Chain A
Amino acid sequence: MHCHDLGIKIDIPPEARMIVLAGNPNVGKSVFFNALTGLYVDVSNYPGTTLEISHGKFGPDVVIDTPGVYGISSFNDEEKIARDIILSADVVINIVDAVHLERDLFLTQQVIDTGIPVVVALNMLDEAVRQGRQVDVDLLSDLLGVPVIPTVATQKKGIEELKAAVSYARSGHIDHELHSKLHLLHDRVGNQGEALLILEGDPIVAERHGIKPGNDREEIYLMRRARVNDIVGHVVRQTSQGASMGTVLGRLMIQPLTGVPILAVFLYAMYKFIGVFIAVDIVNFTEKIIMKEKYEPFVRALVGHYIPQKTALGTILTGEFGVLTMTVTYILGLLLPLVIGFYLALSAFEDSGYLPRIATLTDRAMTGIGLNGRAVIPIILGFGCVTLATIVTRLLGSERERRIAVFLLGLAIPCSAQLAVIAGLISRVSGAYVFLFALTIFTVLAVAGTMLNRFLPGESTDLLIDLPPLRLPRIENVLKKTFTKSYNFLAEATPLFAVGALLIGILQVTGLLDVLQKLLAPLTVGWLGLPKEAANAFIMGFVRRDFGAAGLASLPLSEIQTIVGLITITLFVPCIASLLVIFKERGRREGLIIWPAILSLAFFIGGLVAQGFRLFGSVYAVIGAVAVILLAAVIIGKMPKPGNTSPIDQNVKQRSSV
């Protein structure tokens, strides 16, 4: 009967049914095939291909296996073969992976749309339960309109029930609109399945009937996808019952009530590792003992043989901000250990599957400032080195998000070098002032992000991220990623640090550094309420951010002056290397907007706090004022943007892996 239509030789007795096994790749079709046919199997080669088709007897009927496919079409040889065999079938047994229901049900619905009687074997149900997915099998059967038999083929569970179900296979539910279109074409073509494929634009099937192929494929696919997503939304429930510990922990990590404390624990561990062990113990050894006590005197002596240090060239090369001294000390003594430490931690988070969960957890907060959860990566890195973080903003999904992230990194994220000195200065003031400092920086971040989100044109991208299963990070992977990323960063950033040091050296030898300090003095005294020597600290902050904070530490300051100075230096322009990276990443035009904007904001906000204290006379009143501003920013952030329309996206935003 059918053997010649298919182009392969399969003997099918006249009364026998042709039962076809169909399913996506790697769902376990061969296990079912063996269970149905036993040991008596024949293999035929499909003409013109290297593909072999297995077929065997199941009682009086013939079972034919098909290649694993995502749909039936003419896209490739496997799908052409599957198409021809399925269209000739009397019954299709569709094997579906319960763990990947969203993916596999597309083929199920497409086969149902052909009108051929179907039985669905819902396989790997045990694995789905382990991943915390409960599937309502009866509801799935109702919605599809075909029998659905739960199976665990590797344990032979459900096989007998499946064999019995073949007798009551039936045609399932088809979308009304599609059904009408099929009905019109069916009379001409004589076969519903072929009519469907002609509508979907299959050129080979269309040519058989002398009809022009349709161009509705994309529309039909999207409609079928929407239907499948809707079915999955109804039948799948996330639950902890039976789920593995990794699945439960992974779920707890993305829910705010449990996720935030878990994140706090990991961030504290990260702070202990990077902020204490590396930034203090390791850097103390590398920067002070190796670089400052051994390397710098050696280089100064070496260069001094040829170029006297007191000359302009000598100062630029080996002076206080020398290209061969400060730059190399900074990169190898301070930056390298910190960058390695940060990348070690981030690579471990990434390899364990925790990093995408941090992105998911923080996504809602990030959308208020025009970013999505993915931006948590450069922000975490920014606490290590803003230059590094600015480069990493390349991974964000749109120009708009990169623009916002670069501005916020430059404005409000203190790097680790700065943080160490800030921590020392903060210890001199009482708790209320510490709180004022942290609240002000956080408020600036929130307000700046909210305003950028509202006024920058365009929309930011949604977070679409796969959540892989949680696992212990593999040491080899972590070390490989750390080495590659650290090396790439240093290769890119070292020339920028060198150019930055060169520029500062030129400013120093030409006396312009002193001129800048004198120019800033009225601002620091009148507006910020600080001693005029604080201007030196700000200029030093431009060279290296920790120099700026350290410069403040040497001045006799009151508590409010310490906080005003710290707020200003934290918000102050990033170091010159970061500035050069901003110009490189964002272009000259944007760089020339970002730089003076940050500079102005730093002084403006520092001065606002100083003037606020002068006006109210109490740190608590200033805290209250800042809190009100923060609240206003949060409210404005929640308001819909004018002229905002829903995104076109026809796919459901998924948070579980496929």
Chain B
Amino acid sequence: MFNDCPKKKAGPVFILCPTCHNKMQDLTLLRCPRCFAQLYKTGCDGNCNKCEGKK
């Protein structure tokens, strides 16, 4: 689990499900466990090697 962006670029990094608004901190999830929608990441723009959400 990752609470803060290690590069301090974006503050708390989380995934927000676009369908049911479930908030998740496990950035490796591909689908929302609650409503099974595909997930988007918010709070950072990716492309950094500092956390598992780097993609």
Contact = CB atoms under 8 A, between A and B. Distances in A.
B35 to A, nearest CB: 4
Interface in A217-247: 218, 221-222, 224-225
B47 A106 contact: no
Contacts, number: 59
A648 B30 CA distance: 11
A222 B35 contact: no
A225 B19 CA distance: 16
B38 A466 contact: yes
Given A76-B21, A650-B29, A221 B34 contact: yes
B47 A658 contact: no
Given A106-B33, A651-B31, A75 B22 contact: yes
Interface in A436-467: 461-462, 464, 466
Contacts of B37: 658
Contact of B28 (A76, A224, A649, A658): A649
B30 A649 contact: yes
Interface size bracket, A side:
20 to 34
A648 B55 contact: no
A23 B5 CA distance: 36
A221 B36 contact: no
Contacts of A583: none
Given A397-B55, A398-B55, A461-B55, A70 B30 contact: no
Interface string B17-55: 001111011101111011111100000000100001001
Q: Would you call the interface of chain A mostly helix, strand, loop, or mixed?
A: loop
Contact of B33 (A221, A462, A466): A221
B12 to A, nearest CB: 14
Contacts of B30: 462, 464, 649, 651
Given A75-B22, A399-B47, A651 B33 contact: yes
A70 B33 contact: no
B24 A103 contact: no
Interface string A39-81: 0000000000000000000000000000000110001100000
B20 A75 contact: yes
Interface in A87-123: 100, 102-103, 106
A103 B35 contact: yes
Contacts of B47: 399
B34 A71 contact: yes
B20 A70 contact: yes
Interface string A188-229: 000000000000000000000000000000100110110000
Interface residues of B, number: 21
A75 B21 contact: yes
A398 B29 CA distance: 15
Contacts of A466: 38
A323 to B, nearest CB: 35
B55 A106 contact: no
A462 B29 CA distance: 12
A466 B37 CA distance: 10
Given A75-B20, A218-B24, A221-B22, A464 B38 contact: yes
B9 to A, nearest CB: 17
Nearest to A464: B30
Most chain A CB neighbours (cut-off 10 Å) among B1, B28, B47: B28
A75 to B, nearest CB: 5
A456 B34 CA distance: 35
Contact of A70 (B25, B34, B38, B55): B34
A76 B19 CA distance: 12
Contacts of B25: 218
Nearest to A105: B36
Contacts of A100: 36
A654 B36 CA distance: 10
A221 B34 CA distance: 7
B17 to A, nearest CB: 9
B19 A70 contact: yes
Nearest to A100: B36
A397 B19 CA distance: 22
B24 to A, nearest CB: 6
Interface string A639-657: 0000000011111001000
Nearest to B47: A399
Interface in A13-36: 24
A464 B34 CA distance: 18
Nearest to B35: A70
B24 A106 contact: no
Contacts of A649: 28-30
Contacts of A221: 22, 33-34
Interface of A: 24, 70-71, 75-76, 100, 102-103, 106, 218, 221-222, 224-225, 397-399, 461-462, 464, 466, 647-651, 654, 658
16 contacts: A70-B20, A70-B22, A70-B35, A71-B22, A103-B35, A218-B26, A221-B22, A221-B34, A222-B33, A398-B55, A461-B55, A649-B28, A649-B29, A650-B33, A651-B30, A658-B36
- By Cβ-Cβ distance, the 4 closest A-B pairs, closest first, are A225-B33, A70-B20, A70-B35, A103-B36
Given A103-B35, A221-B33, 15 more contacts: A71-B35, A75-B21, A103-B36, A221-B22, A221-B34, A222-B26, A464-B31, A648-B28, A649-B28, A649-B30, A650-B33, A651-B30, A651-B31, A651-B33, A658-B36
